[in-house]
Chains A and B, each alone.
Chain A
C-alpha cells in the first residue's frame, strides 16, 4: 500500500461539502468544572479572557462559505450543514446564537441547516422555548447523580446538580417531543462516578443512553499530573467493575469499548464493509492511504474560535490554527494548509509505513505529544504482535457474543 498526501483539491472538496461549522461563541462559562479542558489542569489553549465572539466575524465566515457553496457543485443534492454552538457555555452568548440562526435561515441557498449545541444546562430554563422551537440538537453535559456531578461546580464552588437536574426535567416536561428527538447527554468519567451509576441515573431519569468520555489526557500541565491521575477513570475498567456488566454492556451496545473496537475491526478488516457503492469497484489493496487517522482539514468541520482563529476542529490545540477571520476577511491560504499538514505527515510516514494498524488508524496526529519536534513518536504504533493481539482481542469478544456480528454489520448506521 502506497502512501498518499493531502492535496488542495481535498481541502476545497471538504469546504464545498462542509458538514459542520462550529462557533466558539464565548469563552465565558457559568461553571468552573474541576477537570475542564480550559481549566488549570491543561495547557495549549488560548487564555480565557471573558470574550464573546462578534457577529461580524460569524457573518464574514458564513458569507465566505456561501460564496463557495454557490459556486461549486456539491456531491449531495441538498447538503446539510450543522451550525454548532460551542463555548465556554454557549448560552452565555444567546444573542449571537439568535443572530446567527436568523442569518442562516434567511440565506437563499440550496442547503439544509441544522443547529446544535453542547450546554451545561444552567441557563436552559431561560432559553428552552427558543432552543426547542429551532430544534437544536442539544448535548447536555451531565455526569450522573449529585455525587457524579460534583466536579461540575459554579463559581462559588457549589455543585450544579440541583440546577441542572431541575432545568433538564423542566425541558422534558415542557417540550416532550423535542426532548425525545433532539436531546442527548454526555458524561465525563472520573473518580466520583462510574459507567454503571451514570448510565442508570440518566436512563432512569431521562430515558436516554448517555455517551461517556474520559478526561482528555493530552496537554496536562506537569505540576498537575498527580491530580489528573487521581481524577482520571478509564471507561473499560469502570465498565468491567460494574456489577451487571453483561446487561450494561448490552444496553450501551457500541458504547462498550470492546464492541466499539470490534465494530471498527469489522469495518476495516472483514472485507465485507464498503463505504459506498463505488467502493465495490476498487481493490482496497491497490488504494493509497494517507498516514495517521487525522481527518482532512474541514472534512468534519470548521471551527472558529472566540478570537477569530480558524482550526480544523475544537478538540485540538489552538496552535494548530490554519487561518483566521480578521477585519471582515477570511484568511485561509490553502497552500499553507496543505504544506503544513503534509509536513506533519512526513514526520510520521516512516512509522506509519511499518505500523500494522495503518488500515484502521484512528490516531489524530495533533494528539501526538511531540508532533512539533523533529522526531515525534506515535504511541499508537502496532507491530505484528500488537496487531495479532488486537485482532484476537476483537475476535474473542465476538466468539463470546457471536450475535454481534450481524447486529454490528446491519444495524449500525455510520457515515
Chain B
C-alpha cells in the first residue's frame, strides 16, 4: 500500500556512514540508525529540499529493516506516516541568513563591510607585566607575562576610538596590578563607559590590593580572582575572602579538584567557576572534559542553536583580544588581525576575511565525518592547545 512519510519541520537528518541520526530539535527526540543502502536513499530523497521532507513509498516493497526504520520515525515523533493524499507541507531546516557575508558579496549593490560594527561585542585587554610565565592566557583569562605593558592611556585611547554602542562586554586582565601605574584612572574611565566590565586579577596579588579591589564593587564592574590550587590559596582566601569577588578556579587534575571541593565547602564560597586547564594532562581531559555520545544526546538543542553551530563559532563570535604588545587578535592561536592603531572596522573586516575564529565551525576532520558535527559545541581554545579538532573520544563513538 502506498504511504507518505513526512518529517517534521524542526527535525534534522544527518548521515555520516556508518551512522545516521535523525534529531528533532523541538523535543530532543532522536533516532540513531545504520544507513543501509535503501534507508540511505530514502534519507537522501528527504534531504532534497524540493521534496519538502515528504516521500511516498510502497510499504510492501520495502525490506523489513526499512519498514522498522519508518515505524521508528513515527514512534519517536520525528515524522508522521499518512495516506498519500494527506495535505501536509513541511519545511526542512534550511538556514538563511539574509545578511550573510556570502550574500553581501553576491549582491553587487551591497558591500561585505555593511553593518559589521554590530558584530563586535566583547573586548579583552591583557595589560601585560611581570608574572608567572605560562600560556594559560591562551586558554582562559590568565595574566600574560610580558616586557611590554599597555598603559592606561593607550587602553583609554583605543576604547575612545572604538566608540561603539554594540560593545557590551569588556575584560581587563592585569598581570601585575601592583606595579601598574594609573590603575585608578583606567578604572574610573571604565566606570564612565557604562559597559559591563570585568577586572581579572591573579590571587597572588589580592593580599596587597585587597582594599583597592574591594572599592571596585560597582554596578558595571565585576572583579574576578584567578586562582590556582596550591598550598597558599586557602590561606590567602581565608584572609581576603570577599563576597563581591567571583573566583575562577583553574584545575589540572582530579587531586586539585578534590582539594577545591573541600575548600569551597570550608570557606563557603558562593560565586565561582571551575576551569580545566590543559598542561600535559591529556588523560584528565579525556576523562573529564571530552564529550561522549550520551552527553551530546542529552543536551537539547533548538533549531536556532544548531544553525548557530553551522554558521559561526558560539565561543569566539564577536570577541577581540589585545595583547600587551598592542596586537589585536580574534583568536590567540592565530595571526593578529591588526593593532590597536587600526580602525575597528579594519580589525573586524580582517577577521571576516581570514576567519581565524568568529566563523570557525566543525567542518574539519574528524568532525566533518561525524553525525554529531552540528550538535557538538563550537570549537574552543582547548582544541588549539591540545592540537586536535575534536574534544571527544571520536573513535570510540564510531562503533
Contact = CB atoms under 8 A, between A and B. Distances in A.
Contacts of A79: 114
Interface of B: 9-10, 49-52, 87, 89, 91, 93-100, 103, 106-107, 110-111, 113-119, 121, 163-166, 302-304, 307-308, 311-312, 314, 317-318, 345, 349
A273 B116 contact: no
A388 B91 CA distance: 16
Given A280-B308, A398-B52, A402-B52, A275 B116 contact: no
B91 A414 contact: no
Given A272-B93, A278-B121, 9 more contacts: A73-B164, A77-B111, A266-B96, A272-B303, A273-B97, A274-B98, A275-B99, A402-B51, A406-B94
Nearest to B52: A402
Contacts of A281: 308, 314, 317
Nearest to A74: B117
A399 B85 CA distance: 12
Interface string A260-285: 00000011001111111111110100
Interface string A367-397: 0000000000000000000000000000110
A403 B303 contact: no
Contacts of A278: 118-119, 121, 318
Contacts of B114: 76-77, 79
Contact of B113 (A76, A279, A395, A403): A76
Given A77-B116, A274-B307, A277-B317, A405 B9 contact: no
B345 A276 contact: no
22 contacts: A76-B113, A77-B116, A79-B114, A80-B111, A270-B91, A270-B94, A271-B303, A272-B95, A275-B99, A276-B99, A280-B308, A281-B317, A396-B89, A398-B52, A398-B89, A402-B52, A403-B50, A406-B50, A406-B94, A410-B94, A413-B107, A415-B98
A274 B118 contact: no
Q: Please classify how large the interface on chain A is, using the bins under 10, 10 to 19, 20 to 34, 35 or more.
A: 35 or more
Nearest to B344: A73
Looking at chain B's contact residues, the main secondary structure is loop
Contacts of A76: 111, 113-117
Given A78-B111, A273-B96, A275-B99, A280 B117 contact: no
Contacts of B166: 75
A399 B308 CA distance: 28
Contacts of B50: 402-403, 405-406
A74 B164 CA distance: 9
Contact of B49 (A271, A405, A413, A414): A405
A206 to B, nearest CB: 20
A73 B163 contact: yes
Shortest 3 CB-CB distances between A and B: which pairs? A77-B113, A77-B345, A406-B49
Contacts of A364: none
A21 B50 CA distance: 41
A277 B98 contact: no
Contact of B91 (A272, A274, A280, A283): A272
A143 B159 CA distance: 55
A409 interface: yes
A79 B111 CA distance: 9
A395 B115 CA distance: 33
Contact of A276 (B97, B110, B302, B304): B97
Of B9, B91, B93, B314, chain A has the most CB atoms within 10 Å of the CB of B91
A395 B9 CA distance: 13
Contact of A273 (B87, B98, B164, B302): B98
B118 A75 contact: yes
Given A271-B303, A405-B91, A280 B311 contact: yes
B200 to A, nearest CB: 24
A395 B52 CA distance: 11
A276 B49 contact: no
Contact of B349 (A77, A272, A274): A77
Contacts of A395: 89
Nearest to B107: A413
A396 B163 CA distance: 49
Nearest to A282: B304
A398 B95 CA distance: 18
Contacts of B311: 277, 280
B312 A75 contact: no
A279 B95 CA distance: 12
A76 B106 CA distance: 17
A273 to B, nearest CB: 5
A398 B94 CA distance: 15
B266 to A, nearest CB: 38
B118 A266 contact: no
Contacts of A405: 49-50, 52, 91, 94
A363 to B, nearest CB: 21
A413 B163 CA distance: 31
Contact of B10 (A271, A276, A409): A271
A409 B87 contact: no
Contacts of B52: 398-399, 402, 405
Nearest to A265: B91
A399 B89 CA distance: 7
A409 B96 contact: yes
Contacts of B51: 402
Given A280-B312, A402-B52, A406-B49, A274 B94 contact: no
Contacts of A414: 98
Nearest to A181: B108
